[in-house]
Amino acid sequence: MPNYEYKCTREGTTFELWQEVGADAPPCPTCGAPSKKVFRPVRTIFKGSGFYLTDTRAEAGVGKSDDAPPPETPAPKPETPASTTETPAASETKTEAPKPA
């Protein structure tokens, strides 16, 4: 059974009680007024990689794990060749000389 902390709604005093999960809040032991459950933040410790901003950056040597493979760089796209058909300019057109008769 977990240990819960309660606060009196009239006096503001706090008390703890071992109680089943989901049980109703008991009355205050000193004055008999209703009480409310007090919620406290849970102590959390983050260990290992992946919990800091420096772990996700791609900077060289900063926050990187030795076990992680290096990020892959995308292959460069091949350049598309320009149009191979060229039209000659009007001044560059060749004219054939008339054939002798």
User: pLDDT of 46-84, one tens digit each?
Assistant: 777 666 666 565 655 555 555 666 667 776 777 766 655
pLDDT value of residue 77? 72
Q: Of residues 72 and 39, which shows the higher confidence score?
A: 39
**Spatial separation of the C-alpha atoms in residues 71 and 9, rounded to whole Å:** 57
Say if residue 95's pLDDT is above 80: no
Q: Where residue 44 falls among pLDDT bands split at 50, 70, 90? A: confident
Handedness of CA 83, 84, 85, 89 (dihedral sign): positive
Domain ranges of the chain: 1-57
Q: What radius of gyration do the chain's Cα atoms show?
A: 40
pTM above 0.85, yes or no: no
